[in-house]
Amino acid sequence: MRLYDKVAIVTGASSGIGKAIAQSFAKEHAYVAIVARSQKGAEAVQQITAEGGKALFVQCDVTNATAVEAMVSSVIKEYGRIDILVNNAGILRNGDVVSLQEKDWDDVIATDLKSVYLCSKYVIPIMRKNKSGSIVNVASYFGLLGGRQVAAYCAAKGGVVNLTRAMALDHSREGIRVNALCPGPVETQLLQKTFPTPESMKKVAAQIPRGQFPTLEEIASAALFLASDESKHITGIALPIDGGGSAGIKII
């Protein structure tokens, strides 16, 4: 019960990494606010409550300041506090800076980077009152190194990594820790849209030094560690979970 009686907000939690994190938190006896644009967030809540967990669905566009402020207020109204924030919401649009449409650039920056700023902006004052809190920003190993045809995604996730460092320095004396997760390729719907065939997915897995994708549960375990008191002296890090992908070039 590593998160017993804690209140956690997880954005982008209707599927994939966000959903896995929300489920892992609920299993550790946290109250989880599942935040998503899609009504699938309600289905995620049903799955958690069916297993005896406690969860709340808040539909929210995390790129909109008014919507985020209202979301945070609704969580406070329901649970009275916020101890953990996981900024996981994200999208990907393929293209280099020449081919990428301006709207796609704006959408990626807003969803992947601006949302971290907005959610943190309205949650940190709550944590500050309690003199404690843990924020986990889900970045990417593309926030640590570049990649072809994902210019906007690299820019946004690189911004998340350095924003994490800045927030850690700004708020550490207030009892608030801020860390980033940097997953490599994970078999989520987001990746499957980019690599739609089994053959293309096998090629992606072959580029990982360990030769296989991490599981959603493994990503969630890392988020749980950073959210819990087990990591109470860790702040400002960007933790790769990529099977060695960011360690260097794979020669053989």
Q: Which residues carry out catalysis?
A: 153
What is the rounded CA–CA span in Å between residue 225 and residue 206?
28
pLDDT per residue as tens, the chain (252 positions): 899 999 999 999 999 999 999 999 999 999 999 999 999 999 999 999 999 999 999 999 999 999 999 999 999 999 999 999 999 999 999 999 999 999 999 999 999 999 999 999 999 999 999 999 999 999 999 999 999 999 999 999 999 999 999 999 999 999 999 999 999 877 777 676 767 777 777 777 677 777 777 889 999 999 999 999 999 999 999 999 988 888 876 655
Nearest partner of 96 among 144, 143, 147, judged by Cα: 147
Instruction: Provide the pLDDT for residue 202.
Output: 75
C-alpha separations of 132 from 97, 136, 173, 229 in Å: 40, 14, 10, 11
Is CATH 3.40.50.720 correct for 7-241?
A: yes
Summarize pLDDT for 106-139 with one digit per residue, the tens: 999 999 999 999 999 999 999 999 999 999 999 9
